[in-house]
Structure 1
Amino acid sequence: MALNSGPPAFAPYYENHGYQLENYPPGHLVNTNAYVPYPAPYCPSAVPQYIPRVLTHTSTPATVHLQPKSSSGIVFTSKAKKIVCIVISMGIILIGAVIATIFLWKFVKNSCPNSGIECGTSGTCISPTNWCDGISHCPSGEDENHCVRLYGPKFILQVYSSHNKSWYPVCQDDWNDHYGKIACKDMGYNMNSFFSSRGITDDIGATSYMKLNLSAGNVDLYEKLYNSNVCFSKMVVSLRCIECGTMTKVNRLNRIVGGTNAAPGEWPWQVSLHVQGVHVCGGSIITPEWIVTAAHCVEEPLSNPRYWTAFAGILRQSVMFYGSGYKVQKIISHPSYDSETKNNDIALMKLQTPFVFNEKIRPVCLPNPGMMFEPTQLCWISGWGATYEKGKTSDFLKAVMVPIIEPWKCNSRYVYNNMITPSMICAGYLRGKIDSCQGDSGGPLVTKKDSVWWLVGDTSWGSGCAKTNRPGVYGNLTVFTDWIYQQMQANR
């Protein structure tokens, strides 16, 4: 957590150390001319969004070097090496053309006629009406894997109707915890973590619901549900699959604004990820078995889960040295992660043995679809990263408050010049002085809304630490929530 001489006390100004990895693989000086301005406006309708649609403008590229915190450069000076580079580049271009041709052929070959939907990569096509109908039509059951979701800050349970091709809230009539546990299991949660299922007033003004048909007999939950315009209780189901986003030491939050050591019980979802006894990256607990971190943390040669150990509930690195930690069973990086641009910089770790939750170890909530935050929403970052650029990692967990920076500001020619994609969020102060730094990578960017702490992003990249007009960049968790649930479902 880098912290230069702080901004004026009356108004902390924009700044943030972008994400920078420790011991990052060499060769990540990026030519900004390679970045194509992202099409705008961009507003994926099926995922939650923090920031309203904004147009980004094209301008002369600024000189920016991506730094996942720990990079080293290799300088080539000889003419021979330049010739070799040219030959290699031409070869890469030719290989890329061949790969593109193959993918285009596969797309044309596997595209589904008559508005059918393809089952994953199997090439099997099914009718849209077969999705979420309670019967698996795809070879791997993809058509029944994402038929339930939690919506908005009140965790309203919604089920997808294959008949109407839309999401509907579930009426509280005849609902109970048993059905709630089934719905949570279908989202990838362990039923042992189930927290609550209750009816709340429908303040969204729904005109149609999914209701239980108790006379349907002993069949799949979704075969019991039917679409109805009537809900007698006038209440919808609020489902909490896990008790997340709670913190015991909320009375001490005002200490964090300047960037200070965390107190016991603060940021209980924060984990330290070690390789051979050394802190490398941070992460966030989302269930007893699962951790969210950054994909750049687990690139080769660190992609083997056996290398990693997670520590939670401990504030000091010097204390972790004497602990055994939690071994990692599986690592799943986002399939579209780009190691150069840091687009889709997110990964999941599944533990061999689950965390035991207590006051010092608790999960943070994943953002639900329908979550809306202010364009400059106040957030907090935490980690054991360096306290200054190229410095050593901190022994003590530190945290600091940073506001989200609107995309049009972060994509301006004076900041990151259209390098920020919809899968990224900028946060910090454009003036500098406060930021994440080397060693904070993969750690949480969180905010509090409706008395719940939500995981807004994971620390991804930045140009240096706490530099003027070089704020921190974070993976946009709202874009990845569906992907996270899919991985949890597939790897229960």
Structure 2
Amino acid sequence: MTVSGQHVLWCISLGKSLLCILSEMELLENRCLGSLIECGSSGVCIPPSQWCDGVSHCPSGEDETRCVRLFGPDFILEVYSPVSKSWYPVCQDDWNDDYGKIACKDMGYNTYYYSRGVATEVSFKSYMKLNTSAGNIDLYKKLYSSDSCASGNVVSLRCIECGLSTKSMNIMNRIVGGSGATPGQWPWQVSLHVHGIHVCGGSIITRQWIVTAAHCVEGRFSDPYSWRVYAGILNQNEMLLRNGYRVQQIISHPDYDTDSKDNDVALMKLETPLSFTDTVRPVCLPNPGMMFQPNQQCWISGWGAEYQGGKTSNNLNYVTVPLIERSRCNSVYIYNGMILPTMICAGYLGGGIDSCQGDSGGPLVTNKNSVWWLVGDTSWGTGCASPNRPGVYGNMTVFTDWIYKNMQVKYLHGLIVF
């Protein structure tokens, strides 16, 4: 492996007529164009940015009634109050698994792991509490703001068992090629193919959703039906003997900029859910409030080229890279102001270790609190492993809300079964 953007858009030509036909089929499934979200079944479409912004845009106010998120490394459940326009933790008093399942469903998950009370290091001034005498009504109508919480604990909610690797990491310092991965080491890593050719990498976040880079799916690559997703397989030659998973929908960030690579993130929704095993597992999305520090050790993985201009690798490789402070990466002798808030730098200024062509869209992860978190997706860079030209990745902490809001489309358009 040694980064990419402009590196991957080559070699594939899709039939024009097929593209048009499939676009029409997509419209029938979801009446809202692009990344717009439909308000219930009203036919009214609004952008994800207008969900949970304190202003009701939907006819029945659906965009403001189910505003939940997980905060920090302890997965603290928070609910948004449109009245005070603030997020509040949920007090554990009278909380149970049934409420946890509802909250997970409203974040776009069709899975539930656990919820439990945790004591927080920070003392909160206000909480959301359950009014248990409110009867059998909507969860969010049972919640009210309170200055006290009898148990002193807030709800920690896990919707999916994410961020687990079955293998310990050996920190290797040789790359561009990286070290060969072993089964189960990076179980969230997927290979994205078009017509039997590896084009980009991606990361599993749920059974049906993959995160990748927007530049991987722009232009003629935007047709979901031309893609196949391979999970749990380390060897590209072996993938050619398998069918892979079909892609039902591709959602690129609406503010993605082709030139600057601003907002370089996209979602793929699979036609059929993945089966989780020791070698196929999701990575955890970073929660709001999580900060990754400069020099923090991260890992990149992929089937990218092992040197600038080389062929993609047959085997999955990985290597460790430290995060680089944005101000330093933006200095005149490195990227001279090109690193935007939606980007994060990682690598070695001395060169020699980096991601490269074919690694695009793949994961940049770190281990915190014994959990693997998706810090970024491989986006771009000048050359591969060149001095003062570290890798640039999409800053996943900026994209988490956008991802959740788009996963919610699945819930709004269909029934969720636990």
Q: Kindly tell me: are residues 127 and 173 of structure 1, through their superposed partners in 2, closer, same or farther at Cα, counting changes over 3 Å?
A: closer
Q: Secondary structure at the match of 2:220?
A: coil
Give yes or no for the alignment of 1:267 onto 2:186. Answer: yes
User: What is aligned with 2:142?
Assistant: 224
User: Of the two structures, which has the highest relative contact order with CA contacts closer than 8 Å and spacing of 6 or more?
Assistant: 1
Q: 2:9 matched to 1:24?
A: yes
Q: TM-score, length-normalised on structure 2?
A: 0.86
Matched, 1:319 2:238: yes
SS of 1:348's partner is: strand
Distance 1:370 1:357 in 2: 28
Whether contact under 8 Å (2:171, 2:320) holds in the other structure is no
Task: For residue 145 of structure 1, report the CA deviation from its aligned partner.
Answer: 6.3
1:143 corresponds to:
63
> Is the 8 Å Cα contact of residues 282 and 440 (structure 1) preserved in structure 2?
yes
* Other-structure match for 2:247: 328
* Contact residue 20 and residue 440 of structure 1 kept, 8 A: no
Asked if residue 304 in structure 1 is aligned to residue 304 in structure 2, the reply is no
Distance 1:365 1:440, change over 3 A: same
Between Structure 1 and Structure 2, whose CA radius of gyration is higher? 1
Is the aligned partner of 1:243 residue 2:228?
A: no
* C-alpha contact (below 8 Å) 1:145/1:486 kept by paired residues: no
Rounded Cα–Cα distance in structure 1 between residues aligned with 2:78 and 2:53: 22
- Which residue, out of 387, 401, 408, partners 1:489? 408
Closer, same or farther: CA 256–363 of 1 in aligned 2, 3 Å? farther
- 1:254 has 2:170 as partner: yes
Match of 1:445 in 2: 364
Q: Using a 3 Å threshold, how does the CA distance of structure 1 residues 399 and 170 change in structure 2: closer, same or farther?
A: same
- Give 3-state SS (helix, strand or coil) of 1:435's partner: coil
CA offset at residue 267 of structure 1?
Answer: 0.6
Q: Residue 169 in 1 paired to residue 92 in 2?
A: no
The one-character-per-residue Cα deviations of 1:99-158 (angstroms, maximum 9, x if unpaired) are xxxxxxxxxxxxxxxxxxxx9469x9x994x65xxxxx6238553266111000000001
What SS does the aligned partner of 2:116 have? strand
CA apart distance, 1:238: 0.3
Q: 1:427 aligns with which of 329, 338, 346?
A: 346
Contact 1:272 1:310 in 2 (8 A): yes
CA distance in 1, matches of 2:182, 2:350: 28
Shift of 1:218: 1.7
1:471, 1:411 → 2: CA distance? Answer: 11
Give aligned-pair identity as a percent.
Answer: 65
Amino acid in structure 2 at the alignment position of 1:351: L
Which amino acid is the alignment partner of residue 174 of structure 1?
A: D
Asked if 2 retains the 8 angstrom alpha-carbon contact of 1:145 and 1:489, the reply is no
Shift of 1:375: 1.9
Aligned mates of 1:371, 1:224 — CA distance in 2: 29
- Equivalent residue for 2:201? 282
Q: Does the CA-based 8 Å contact 2:64-2:82 persist in structure 1?
A: no
Tell me if the contact between 2:81 and 2:87 (Cα under 8 Å) persists in the aligned partners: yes
Could you say which residue in structure 1 is the equivalent of 2:287? 368
Please state if 1:476 is matched with 2:395.
yes
Q: Which residue of 1 aligns with 2:312?
A: 393
Residue-pair matches, total? 375
**Is there any run of 5+ residues in structure 1 with no aligned partner, and where?**
3-17, 27-69, 71-118, 132-136
Q: Is 1:195 the equivalent of 2:180?
A: no
Q: Residue deviations 1:210-245, cap 9 Å, x none?
A: 110011112111100001112111111000010000
The match for 1:204 is 122
Shift of 1:182: 0.3
When structure 1 is superposed on structure 2, of 197-206 and 393-402 the one drifting more is 197-206
What is the alpha-carbon distance in structure 2 between the residues aligned to residue 357 and residue 475 of structure 1? 26
CA contact (8 A) 1:20 1:437 kept: no
Residues 424 and 481 (structure 1), Cα distance of their counterparts in 2 relative to 1, 3 Å cut: same
Would you say the 8 A contact 1:150–1:156 is kept in 2? yes
Contact map agreement 2:53 2:64 (CA 8 A) in 1 = no
In the alignment, the residues of structure 1 paired with residue 47 and residue 302 of structure 2 have an alpha-carbon distance, to the nearest angstrom, of 38
Deviations 1:357-377, CA, capped at 9 Å, x for gaps:
010000000010110221221
